[in-house]
Amino acid sequence: MGACTPAAALLAAATHDLGGEGESGLASGLVNTTQQVGGAVGLAVLSTFAFGRSDDALAQGAAFGVALLDGLVLAMRIGAVIALVGAALAAVALSRGAARPGDTPTRGTWT
């Protein structure tokens, strides 16, 4: 639910002010492909960290539930850091590209 809320706005921003229907379709396809591949790679990386931490905890004699929780907490912390870095980069990119009153948008340029 949380990822679906900004999806429409993200897609609209990515395909805004493109030359034609073909370019808009290409941009839409690239956005969707990037989201799917990024999600798959992110899940693979986070689960690798989680299971690695869980295996280490089990090897040290921790109970299964405690080891599993330890791994999941690590994965959530890593995911939170990645999300915060992404939000900071997006904020910087948006502040540099923000339109000023009176500006007329032109195709292919950033203000």
pLDDT digits (tens, 9 = 90+) for 24-43: 778 878 888 988 999 999 99
Cβ distance 17 to 38 under 8 Å? no
Asked whether residue 26 is assigned to any structural domain, the reply reads yes
- Is residue 101 in a domain? no
pLDDT value for 91:
87
Band of residue 105 on the pLDDT scale cut at 50, 70, 90: low
Question: What value, to the nearest 5°, has the Cα angle with vertex 34 and ends 29 and 35?
Answer: 100
**pLDDT > 90 fraction of the chain, expressed in percent and rounded:** 45
76 is a domain residue: yes
Average pLDDT over every residue of 75-90: 93
Is residue 86 in some structural domain?
Answer: yes
Specify if 8 maps to a domain: no
Q: Coil, strand or helix: which one is 76?
A: helix
Which residues span the domain enclosing 52? 22-96
- Residue 37 resides in a domain: yes
Decide if 39 is inside a domain.
yes
- Distance, in Å, from the CA atom of 53 to the CA atom of 71, rounded to the nearest integer, reads 5
Q: DSSP class of residue 97?
A: S
User: Residue 89 carries which DSSP code?
Assistant: H
Q: How many domains does the chain have?
A: 1
pTM: 0.69
